[in-house]
Each structure stands twice: as structure tokens, then as C-alpha cells.
Amino acid sequence: MPTRYDPAASFEIKSWELEFRRTPHRTLLARVYQPQGPGPFPALLDLHGGAWNDKDRLANQPMDEAIARSGVVVVAVDLRLGHEAPYPASVQDANYGVRWLKAMAREWKGDAATVGVLGSSSGGHVAQILGMRPRDPRYNAIPLEGHPGVDATVHYVATRSPISDPFARYQNAENRGRTEMMQKSKTYFNPWETIFEANPQQILDRREPVSLPPLLIMQGGLDDNVLPAFQEKFAASYRAAGGSCELEVFEGCGHIWVADPGPQTDRAHEMVKAFIAKNLRALRLVA
């Protein structure tokens, strides 16, 4: 049966957790949200935020459930945190996660040929790096046993408040006297020079050869953590490099508005579903 996706559909969902992969520090877990139906369904990997140093696979649960109910197999994974292992560890986890999801998709009634990624805040930064550098040896260093030929390319990248320019964000935190935010950046980007290596905005500024999957940026208009101006600059740079980037500013909203129920959160859920449908339409997979 061919894969189809109707963003207006409504499915019951089943969710469970399983081991994602083991690290020297702990076992990383994944949470699967599976629509209850014959499938096959499109598949999505969710990458959590937390300023690279906090949170886990459950951070974006309301969004994950909303997307899964529309008929998408959503898999949210733990990422290693900065105090466990600095950059590029979390990007390696995400790269492995895409390959792992492709290998496991059929078991969960998902379609490996449809995989996209969703990332929030620092998870949005990881998602952007993942999308731009899917075959980079710095990131695909973790082998996927039994599936050496599977790569980490994705069909689209959806983000909420992504840290598109980590250095500009650090400077903003410094100007506002936010020492905790500054320290979390220093913990993750260690050595410090990696904040430039793994900087999506500066990667484009340097005109590095990169992949440019279709990108959605949802940004709070009142966000003083990641400023709207950062996203406007990044979206313009992404388009100038030849990529498709949709930037939607949610007026009156801060950095993590989707954590609270309400019309703007519902709007974000619908926007992600519409973005998924638009990009699957290019694969002729939308009902």
C-alpha cells in the first residue's frame, strides 16, 4: 500500500519507549508515537531543546502527539547533554537517529523514504546542522549495525525557535547579563572555537557546500533568548544559498510558547502538519 498523508486526518495513537542507544554515561531512550491504522505512515524524528544541556525526549510531547494524530510516526530521542559530552556529540546522536529511524520505520508502520526532522531551540540548531551536513564524517561516526548504507539525509527540517546563530545568541546573553545561558554555551561548545564551526548562519556566510532541505522556522516575536532578527537574517541567507525557507513569526509569543495550550500553540501544530504535507506532496504522497 502506498504511503499517504492527510494533515486533517485524526488517528488514535499508541506510544511506548525503548532503548535508542547506549553511551558511557547512560542509556539514551526514544519515545515512539504510532498512529493506529494500517499505514504505512510518514516518519519524523524529533530533537529536544534545553540549551544543549537540559531536557529529554519528552520535552515536546504535546507537539509530537498532535503530529502523530494526523498520521505520522513520530520518534523523539534523547540527545547527549553538554556536560556529558560537548559538541559534536548531540549532532552525532541526531545523525544516528535519522539512520536508526529509517532502519526501524517499517517495524512501526513508517516509511523510511519520507523521513523529516523537527527540532526545538537547541534541538533546532542540531536539526539545522543535521540537515545541512547529513553525510559529514564528524557526525556520522556512530555506525548503525546491519545498515551501513543508510544515510542521514532528510526531506525537510521543521524548527521552533532554533538557535540559528549560536554566537549571536551568546553575545545577546552577554549583553543582557544572562550568565547561566552563557555558561551553557561554553559547556557545549568546548573547545570554544567550535561555536563557529557548528554555526548554521556562519556556515552559510562562509559559503560552505551544504545540503539545503526545505526549512520551516517558527519564531516568537517577543523572544529575547533567540531574537527574531537572527531568524530573519538566517532565512534570507538560506534562500540566497538556494534553499527554501519559511519563516513564521508568532507575534506576542516568547521562546517556548508551545509549552502552553492555546490558539498560538494550536497554530504551530497546524503549521508543522501543513509543512509536512507540502513537502510530502513533492514526493506525491499526500492524499
Instruction: Look at residue 285 in the predicted model and tell me its pLDDT.
Output: 54
Residue 164: give its domain's CATH number: 3.40.50.1820
- The interaxial angle of helices 61-69 and 263-281, nearest 10 deg, is 50
Query: Is residue 220 a part of any domain in this protein?
Result: yes
What is the distance between the alpha carbons of residues 210 and 256, in angstroms, rounded to a whole number? 29
Contacts of 197 (CB under 8 A, 6+ apart): none
Instruction: Look at residue 282 in the predicted model and tell me its pLDDT.
Output: 86
Q: Which three cell numbers stand for residue 153?
A: 539525509
Query: Is residue 92 a part of any domain in this protein?
Result: yes
Local structure of residue 114 (DSSP, 8 states): G
**Which residue range is the domain that position 138 belongs to?**
13-281
Query: Is residue 82 a part of any domain in this protein?
Result: yes
Phi then psi for 22, rounded to 5 degrees? -100, 140
Query: Is residue 191 a part of any domain in this protein?
Result: yes
Instruction: Look at residue 49 in the predicted model and tell me its pLDDT.
Output: 98
Q: Which three cell numbers stand for residue 113?
A: 523514504
Phi then psi for 213, rounded to 5 degrees? -65, 155
Instruction: Look at residue 25 in the predicted model and tell me its pLDDT.
Output: 87
Instruction: Look at residue 286 in the predicted model and tell me its pLDDT.
Output: 52
Instruction: Indicate the number of domains in the chain.
Output: 1
Query: Is residue 7 a part of any domain in this protein?
Result: no
Query: Is residue 171 a part of any domain in this protein?
Result: yes
Query: Is residue 46 a part of any domain in this protein?
Result: yes
- What b-and-e string marks burial along 199-215, b requiring 16 or more CB atoms within 10 Å of the CB? bbbbbbeeeeebbbbbb
What is the distance between the alpha carbons of residues 276 and 116, in angstroms, rounded to a whole number? 8
In 121-237, DSSP assigns E strands to 157-160, 215-220
Regions of the chain where pLDDT drops below 70 = 1, 285-287
Query: Is residue 6 a part of any domain in this protein?
Result: no
For the entire predicted model, the pTM comes to 0.97
Instruction: Look at residue 287 in the predicted model and tell me its pLDDT.
Output: 47
